[in-house]
């Protein structure tokens, strides 16, 4: 419907581009009404717990799951690429006392063109190789920046480490047990790709100008930093700790709702049912709890979900507010041992696979992304000398 302002008739404006189809993609389908996420034709529930993060990255970049030789080659490529250029390490040492979390990651990512003589080459094969390099180096930036910020020395991973295992090793300097590697793998697979969300769209807009992949990745990271997009898992963990016990769950949720505050980890722009990624991460957390014997936080999270959905249905009927990925992301990342200040940067590690896949797809059939806007300000104003202006 058009909008009218005095004698001017304006076209309808889709605020937030809601309802606008801006791209045709073969990478992912997000079905909000059925709570279904499909990656290159695979229901994500078909992949979770069965494949490593490297396999899902290969799938997103190449359109198929790797065979054994292809997976081994990608693992070796990522292993070789983890070492950051010397100037980047030097800069991280200088920045560490002044920047943490997503600020540090954004600055670090912007430097990853250093040493890449062909960074402005946009052919598909070089872009796939660059995607693998950036995937490896983003994980290194997150781990190294965190350690340097604590006044600790950088630890390089071993060649045999997977991306998940190598990240935990870089973070702590000790060999992580398999349960933690499996938990982090499950998380990275679950968040690797999610359609044309804000950060993915921002990355595609940048690469559509024929800019380089490093610039587009930095754009995506800057977009993810906003709490309306990627900054929720940390506050979810704070909420769970504030609730503290099963007995306090209902009272806490009702008090928060009565005060008009948002219950973290619930509601989604697309999903009108439970986020399928919440199911995947809940299952992964259950497997970890079975190995560690510690089910207390898992049971509290389940209680928070059940209670919140029931109370939201009672107080806000018809709003379709259910658990989203952040509720169980906080649980699994805490169980894995990731510090809460790194929750969003670790999200970025996983989503780098999806971001770069969309950049490759945009490069393959590129058209500059340039939507229209409608002017709704004043018209026919007359200039006055500065002395006559109010």
Catalytic residue ranges: 268, 326
- C-alpha 203/C-alpha 102 separation (Å) is 16
- β-pairing verdict for 8-10 and 3-5: antiparallel
- C-alpha 235/C-alpha 327 separation (Å) is 10
Helix 233-243 to helix 343-364 angle (10° resolution) is 150
Q: Count the neighbouring beta carbons within 10 Å of the beta carbon of residue 265.
A: 28
Taking a C-beta distance cutoff of 8 angstroms, is the pair 30, 19 a contact? no
Helix 233-243 to helix 296-315 angle (10° resolution) is 100
Produce one character per residue of 167-185: b if its CB has 16 or more CB atoms within 10 Å, e if not. Answer: bbbbbeeeebeebbbbbbb
- C-alpha 189/C-alpha 186 separation (Å) is 5
């Amino acid at each position: 419907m058009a909008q009218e302002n005095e004698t001017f008739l304006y076209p309808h404006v889709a605020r937030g581009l809601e309802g606008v189809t801006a791209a045709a993609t073969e990478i992912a389908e997000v079905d909000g009404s059925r709570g279904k996420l499909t990656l290159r034709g695979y229901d994500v529930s078909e992949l979770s717990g069965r494949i490593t993060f490297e396999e899902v990255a290969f799938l997103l970049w190449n359109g198929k799951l790797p065979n054994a030789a292809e997976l081994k080659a990608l693992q070796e490529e990522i292993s070789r690429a983890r070492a950051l250029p010397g100037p980047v390490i030097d800069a991280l040492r200088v920045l560490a006392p002044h920047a943490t979390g997503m600020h540090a990651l954004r600055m670090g990512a912007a430097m990853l063109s250093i040493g890449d003589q062909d960074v402005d080459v946009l052919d598909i094969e070089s872009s796939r190789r660059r995607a693998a390099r950036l995937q490896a180096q983003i994980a290194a930036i997150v781990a190294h920046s965190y350690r340097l910020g604590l006044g600790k020395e950088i630890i390089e991973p071993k060649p045999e480490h997977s991306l998940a295992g190598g990240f935990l090793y870089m973070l702590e300097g000790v060999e992580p047990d398999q349960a933690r590697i499996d938990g982090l793998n499950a998380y990275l697979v679950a968040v690797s790709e999610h359609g044309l969300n804000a950060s993915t769209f921002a990355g595609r807009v940048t690469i559509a100008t024929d800019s380089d992949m490093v610039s587009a990745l930095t754009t995506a990271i800057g977009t993810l930093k906003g709490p309306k997009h990627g900054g929720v898992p940390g506050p979810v963990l704070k909420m769970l700790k504030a609730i503290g016990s099963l007995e306090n769950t209902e009272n806490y949720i009702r008090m928060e709702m009565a005060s008009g505050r948002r219950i973290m980890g619930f509601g989604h722009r697309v999903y009108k049912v439970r986020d399928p990624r919440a199911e995947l991460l809940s299952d992964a957390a259950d497997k970890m709890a079975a190995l560690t014997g510690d089910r207390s936080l898992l049971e509290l999270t389940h209680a928070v979900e059940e209670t919140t959905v029931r109370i939201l249905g009672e107080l806000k009927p018809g709003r379709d507010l259910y658990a989203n990925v952040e509720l169980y992301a906080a649980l699994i990342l805490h169980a894995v041992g990731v510090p809460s200040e790194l929750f969003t940067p670790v999200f970025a590690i996983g989503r780098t696979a999806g971001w770069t896949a969309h950049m490759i797809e945009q490069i393959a059939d590129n058209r500059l992304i340039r939507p229209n806007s409608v002017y709704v300000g004043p018209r026919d104003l007359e200039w006055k000398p500065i002395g006559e202006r109010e």
